[in-house]
């Protein structure tokens, strides 16, 4: 009974077409019409049930029985296509979806099914006309796919034209910018493209993408002065352009102008238009700059706060690692503290922080934090080592001996740490003996 309810519900919504036999056989006896109709419905319900439990072969058998009754029912062919696709029988899936869309070309989902087949088989040339048709329903959605298809089939002229069109209507994206850079790295596009872009900027100075393309071309040709000039023109023509700041930031860094670089960096980090990957790249470049120019360490610390909600990268932790590698342990500890403030149970950050305290002789912090963290990780040998090290440095030798003896049994397959424990234990025992004299 529930299958009949489902079927008639689908009929009402238009998702399943009424069996053609009902209309074609109006002059037949009522009993024979009902019998034919019931047979079709039963087979169709069975096909849906078998597909639902992934018995695709059985679903196809039931649908083929439906075909006999209604050879021009697009819904049947669409279901056949789905089942053949699930079995990765791509030739039959293609035939089924083509038949479905030929019968009912106004149904988007039949075209989508055909596109799914071509996507799975990486038949990019056949995909293009299908995606162009799908754009009748969702232009903004399928445009992105069409750009990629043009790139895969090396139709760079068409790809570039579509990218430029999309930049005017929906803005810039990192993926399309990557495609554009790939296209314009081809010598075929370089020389004429510069002249074309310069002319386009003169005619319409408010089109941001023309400036960005020209900046890239000049930079790629090692004409940095011209590229910087274009970036400045962009900033002047479109003061609200966030992308101008990305280019200007790079030029200011190269010119060793920390104040201007900082200003551009903060505009980039504040922007909602610029992708997070680009923001990370800007931060990384400023990190290297600030390492060589410590007067800008405050700006670096401020920049890191823009990534507090980043779910993919623990930015303070990565900055801390950078400074550890540079031997700047006091700087590293500040960022690792921020990292642990956001995620207090990150054992790697804990160990790195204790390392920075040890290396920068922050012995009070070393002992306090190491002993506190043993409550969180009571079997982590390194924490007992740092607690013993800190206590030894504070000349609390009895405590050092206790921590080290409690922790040494947790050392597993780490010769360096084992050696460190023994060295600190000797120092603790020697310290105790010295006090007892």
Mean pLDDT, each 10-residue run in order, the chain (437 residues): 36 38 37 56 88 90 90 91 92 92 90 91 89 84 85 84 78 76 68 75 82 77 79 83 84 91 92 83 92 93 90 90 93 92 89 94 94 91 94 93 92 90 92 76
Residue 437, pLDDT score: 59
Long-range contacts of 134-141 (CB under 8 A, 24+ apart): 134/108, 137/108, 140/170
CA 94 – CA 113 distance, rounded (Å):
8
Contacts of 32 (CB under 8 A, 6+ apart): 25
| Residue 272 DSSP SS3 | coil
CATH class label, 1-121: mainly alpha
Residue 28, pLDDT score: 42
Contacts of 266 (CB under 8 A, 6+ apart): 302, 303
CB 390 within 8 A of CB 366: yes
Burial of 222: CB neighbours in 10 Å, binned 0-12, 13-18, 19+: exposed
Residue 436, pLDDT score: 66
Domain 364-437 has CATH 1.25.40: yes
Nearest to 281 by CA among 247, 326, 321: 247
Residue 186, pLDDT score: 66
Residue 190, pLDDT score: 57
CA 248 – CA 229 distance, rounded (Å):
9
| Type and span of the H or E element at 28 | none
CA 352 – CA 372 distance, rounded (Å):
15
| Residue 326 DSSP SS3 | coil
| Residue 100 DSSP SS3 | helix
Per-residue pLDDT tens digits for 116-156: 999 899 888 898 899 888 888 888 778 888 888 888 888 88
Q: Where in the chain is the domain with CATH 1.25.40.10?
A: 1-121
Residue 201, pLDDT score: 86
| Residue 64 DSSP SS3 | helix
| Its pTM surpasses 0.75 | no
Per-residue pLDDT tens digits for 232-277: 888 888 887 888 888 889 889 988 999 999 999 999 999 887 878 8
Q: Provide φ and ψ at 411, rounded to 5°.
A: -75, 130
Nearest to 172 by CA among 264, 77, 243: 243
CA 249 – CA 230 distance, rounded (Å):
13
């Amino acid at each position: 009974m529930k299958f009949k309810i489902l079927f008639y519900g689908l009929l009402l919504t238009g998702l399943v077409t009424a069996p053609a036999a009902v209309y074609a056989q109006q002059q037949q006896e009522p009993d024979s019409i009902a019998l034919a109709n019931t047979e079709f419905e039963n087979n169709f319900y069975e096909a849906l049930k078998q597909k639902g439990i992934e018995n695709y072969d059985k679903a196809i058998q039931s649908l083929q029985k439906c075909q006999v009754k209604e050879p021009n029912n697009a819904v049947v062919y669409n279901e056949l296509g789905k089942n053949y696709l699930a079995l990765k029988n791509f030739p039959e899936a293609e035939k089924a979806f083509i038949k479905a869309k030929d019968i009912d070309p106004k149904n988007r989902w039949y075209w989508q099914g055909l596109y799914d087949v071509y996507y799975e088989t990486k038949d990019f040339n056949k995909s293009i006309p299908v995606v162009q048709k799908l754009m009748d329903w969702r232009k903004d959605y399928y445009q992105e796919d069409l750009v990629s298809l043009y790139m895969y089939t090396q139709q760079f002229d068409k790809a570039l034209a579509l990218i430029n069109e999309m930049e005017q209507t929906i803005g810039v994206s990192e993926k399309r910018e990557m495609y554009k850079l790939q296209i314009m790295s081809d010598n075929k596009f370089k020389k004429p493209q510069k002249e074309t872009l310069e002319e386009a900027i003169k005619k319409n100075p408010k089109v941001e993408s023309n400036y960005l393309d020209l900046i890239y071309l000049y930079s790629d040709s090692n004409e940095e002065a011209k590229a910087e000039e274009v970036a400045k023109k962009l900033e002047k023509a479109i003061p609200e352009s966030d992308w101008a700041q990305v280019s200007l930031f790079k030029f200011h860094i190269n010119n060793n102008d920390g104040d201007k670089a900082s200003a551009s960096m903060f505009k980039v980090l504040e922007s909602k238009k610029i992708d997070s990957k680009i923001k990370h790249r800007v931060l990384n470049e400023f990190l290297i700059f600030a390492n060589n120019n410590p007067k800008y360490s405050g700006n670096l610390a401020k920049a890191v706060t823009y990534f507090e909600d980043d779910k993919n990268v623990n930015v303070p932790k990565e900055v801390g690692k950078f400074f550890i590698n540079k031997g700047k342990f006091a700087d590293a500890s500040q960022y690792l503290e921020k990292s642990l403030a956001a995620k207090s149970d990150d054992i790697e950050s804990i160990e790195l922080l204790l390392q920075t305290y040890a290396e920068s002789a922050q012995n009070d912090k070393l002992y306090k934090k190491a002993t506190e963290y043993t409550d969180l990780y009571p079997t982590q040998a390194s924490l007992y080592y740092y607690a013993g090290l800190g206590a030894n440095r504070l000349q609390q030798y009895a405590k050092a001996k206790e921590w080290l003896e409690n922790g040494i049994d947790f050392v597993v397959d780490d010769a360096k740490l084992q050696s460190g424990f023994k060295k600190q234990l000797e120092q603790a025992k020697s310290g105790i003996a010295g006090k007892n004299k």
